[in-house]
Amino acid sequence: MANPVTISLASQEPRLDDRPLDKRVGLIILATDHTTEVDFQRLVASEQIGVYVARIPYANPVTWENLRAMQPSLTAAAALILPEETLDVVMYSCTSASVVIGDEQVAAAIKVAKPEAAVVTPTAASVKGLRALDARRISVLTPYTIETSRPMADYFTGLGFAIDRFTCLGLTDDREMARIAPEEIVAFAKEATAPESDALFISCTAVRAAGVIAEIEAAIGRPVVSSNYATAWACLRLCGDGKARPQLGQLMGLPLKGEWP
């Protein structure tokens, strides 16, 4: 029979840091999301910035009724991200739902649980990004149906953007949107860009556009903003990371101007 192991306490308690990492970004993402966590681990997470995730229920197809149904879950989801601890930023990762619910309503629901955090939506971040790029005339590419896309067109025109071309891919399942091959995104982006536009906006946090922004910019000769790319840029800047990363696209070389949102 083996001798019993002696277990003892250390001579003193360990010293604790205030935070494991300096900054905290919380993500609220759809249960069906394949893309946002991957993009944020690549673009935002670092030795200074931690990314923490909560998922909320979502039922396909992508309709305005299903998108709006997520609103009651936002406060509870935010509360589940490091409960009773503060966050620097919370990002709600659904572009089309941010349109139908409203940027301000999304922020209000999240701030019930995390009042100290800046709240980022893909729509608000994309508007900030397009304005930072001095884009007034834009082309838009979405994976959605025409019906789902119409309110998004109204959102951007209502904020003063002129839309030269608006292209939809006609998909209704966000899991299929996540499987669009990057080279296909580049090809559709070329087709979707009107020659008179200042920039191209690619909607949907499921679409894997953030990893090919620089490639698309080289192909069309103008800046590109996508949902995850814009939110990553906004979250970095709101966490005090002002490092220029122009190799990732033109927006990543720019500061966040003005107050947020």
pLDDT in tens, 29-60: 999 999 999 999 999 999 999 999 999 999 88
Domain boundaries, the chain: 23-122+233-244, 124-229
User: How confident is the model over 231-241, as a mean pLDDT?
Assistant: 98
What are the φ and ψ backbone dihedral angles of 132, each rounded to 5 degrees?
-60, -30
- Is it true that 23-122+233-244 and 124-229 share their CATH fold? yes
Cα(62)–Cα(54) distance, rounded to whole angstroms?
A: 20
Q: Residue 182 — pLDDT band, cuts 50, 70, 90?
A: very high
pLDDT by residue (tens digit) across 64-123? 788 888 999 999 999 999 999 999 999 999 999 999 999 999 999 999 999 999 999 999
Asked whether the bond before 261 is cis by omega within 30 degrees of 0, the reply is yes
The dotted CATH code for 23-122+233-244 is 3.40.50.12500
Q: Residue 190 — pLDDT band, cuts 50, 70, 90?
A: very high
Give the helix ranges, DSSP H, for the chain: 36-43, 64-68, 74-79, 95-101, 103-113, 122-132, 146-158, 174-177, 182-192, 213-220, 227-238
Residue whose entry in the numeric block shows the structure tokens 């966050």:
87
CA angle (253, 257, 261) in 5-degree steps: 115
pLDDT of residue 63: 82
CATH architecture designation of domain 124-229: 3-Layer(aba) Sandwich (3.40)
pLDDT of residue 65: 84
Average pLDDT, the chain: 96
User: How confident is the model over 226-242, as a mean pLDDT?
Assistant: 98
pLDDT of residue 59: 86
